[in-house]
Amino acid sequence: MINQKTINATLHLADTTLILAQKNSEWCAHGPILEQDIAITNITLDLIGQSRMFYQYAAELINEVENKNETEDTLAYFRSEREFKNFLIAELPNGDWAQTILRQFFFSCFHQLLFEKLQHIEDKQISAIAVKSLKEINYHVKWSSEWVIRLGDGTLESHSRMVKAIEILWPYTGEFFNAEENDLIEVKKIKSNWIQKIEAVFFEANLLIPGNVFMQTGGKQGIHTEHLGYILTEMQSLQRAYPGLEW
Amino acid sequence: MNIKITKYYYGDIPEETTSSPSSKPNTVDLGWPLWEVFIRSKQGLDHKHAGSLHAADAAMAIENARDVYTRRQEGISIWVIESKHIHASNPDDATMFYEPSADKIYRHPTFYDLPDEIKHM
């Protein structure tokens, strides 16, 4: 049965990886070293690929229910800020390499747990996308975990940068587990597993999870930080100026 | 001015270089060593030299190799070795090393008939 709930959930999955990919792609040609430049852009391409599959599915559902002509492109390029349902953490500025790595680590660990659940849900299309994406996500977790350890347990400078990144990003991790009516799984149930993953890597990295801090929310409901508007303006500029342009 | 130029043959880099870090051969600013990458393209074939890259340690070298050299499905197995562990023949020796074999065709097993079914020979 197709309903608005599935459409919203699919768009949330697509939007989060698209916006994160858009941010990560800013590292292209600016990575700290050629090999890591390729690594982060490979991950970015994985995320865009996952977004495309979810947008294609969302377009199919929307067209069936509302008799529209949506495509993956119209969903990515012609929706506004309030219509995007991505997690706030995806739209935050990249900061330094430590901050980008930590965001990828926090998100990929969540992504992994989420998709492990999604591969068993009833919706065949979403479960198939989850199975396919998990192979990529498992590598994202491995890659980002090793970087968190490398920087956290590295020099005084790299350690202090990780500590600063944790301060900035931690308040945006609570949103992962904020239950909402459109959720496909019970997100609260994966929270303790996520904390365990983070703790295990932080232990090796000589880093600490912050105490009780206020958690930011709103992304899933379309209430965003001031950053998303700028991201969309840039990302959508070509299609807004030349609708339907192909290359 | 007295400038000493030290020439290293491929991969044959001494453990310690006395010169300043910026003139170290085969290192970037981060001071990460160079690694040689060998990729096996499919089961049953040999690992072949694919190229080189920089990495802080062996684990990172393998991951970098995965990202740089297997992103277009080039391989199913990766070997890496720090370039300094590879010793190369001296190009100046090329004449005495390789040219004497040029006129010894009897060393080639070209006088045997191979069945068509045998591949990769």
Helix extents (H) in chain B: 58-69, 94-98
Cβ neighbours of B67 in A, within 8 Å? 35, 38-39, 42
CA distance A40 to chain B (A): 9
Residues A167 and A86: beta-carbon distance below 8 Å: no
Picking from A32, A39, A150, the nearest residue to B67 by CB comes out as: A39
Only one residue has tokens 């040029």, namely B102
pLDDT for A123 beyond 70: yes
Residues A36 and A151: beta-carbon distance below 8 Å: no
Rg of chain B over all Cα atoms, to the nearest angstrom = 20
pLDDT band at B27 (very low <50, low <70, confident <90, very high): very low
Residue B73: predicted pLDDT: 87
Task: Determine which helix (DSSP H) or strand (DSSP E) holds A68, and give its type and residue range.
Answer: none
By C-alpha distance, the chain B residue nearest A35 is B64
Residues A193 and A236: beta-carbon distance below 8 Å: no
| Distance separating alpha carbons of residues A65 and A75, to the nearest angstrom | 15
pLDDT for A237 beyond 80: yes
Size of interface A-B (CB pairs under 8 A): 30
Domain boundaries, chain B: 21-88
Evaluated on CA atoms B73, B76, B79, B80, the torsion sign reads: positive
Q: Please state the φ and ψ torsions of residue B74, each to the nearest 5 degrees.
A: -80, -20
Query: What is the ipTM metric for this complex?
Result: 0.76
Test A42 with B67 for CB contact under 8 angstroms: yes
Mean pLDDT for chain A overall: 96
Tens digits of residue pLDDT in B60-108: 999 999 999 998 888 999 999 999 999 989 888 888 998 888 888 878 7
Residue B30: predicted pLDDT: 67
Residue B112: predicted pLDDT: 77
Does B30 contact chain A (CB < 8 Å)? yes
Q: Which fold has domain A4-241?
A: Ferritin (1.20.1260)
Test A35 with B64 for CB contact under 8 angstroms: yes
Cβ neighbours of A36 in B, within 8 Å? 64
Indicate which of B35, B67, B68 best probes the interface with A, i.e. most A CBs within 10 Å of its own CB.
Answer: B67
Cβ neighbours of A42 in B, within 8 Å? 67, 71
Can you say how many angstroms the Cα of residue A125 is from the centroid of all Cα atoms in its chain?
Answer: 20
Domain boundaries, chain A: 4-241
Tens digits of residue pLDDT in A166-209: 999 999 999 999 999 989 999 999 999 999 999 999 999 999 99
User: What mean pLDDT comes out for the span A127-131?
Assistant: 97
Test A146 with B63 for CB contact under 8 angstroms: yes
pLDDT for B113 beyond 90: no
Does B71 contact chain A (CB < 8 Å)? yes
Question: Quick one: tokens of A133?
Answer: 């994406």
pLDDT band at B118 (very low <50, low <70, confident <90, very high): confident
Q: Please state the φ and ψ torsions of residue B36, each to the nearest 5 degrees.
A: -95, 140
Cβ neighbours of B68 in A, within 8 Å? 35, 38
Architecture of domain B21-88: Roll (3.10)
Test A39 with B55 for CB contact under 8 angstroms: no
**Which of left, alpha, beta for B120 (phi over 0: left; psi -120 to 50: alpha)?**
left
Residue B20: predicted pLDDT: 46
Residue B13: predicted pLDDT: 63
Tens digits of residue pLDDT in A46-89: 999 999 999 999 999 999 998 899 999 999 999 999 999 999 99
With CA atoms as reference, report the closest residue to B13 among B82, B93, B90, B92: B82
Residue type, A71: T
Verdict on whether the full-model pTM lies above 0.95: no
Residue B5: predicted pLDDT: 62
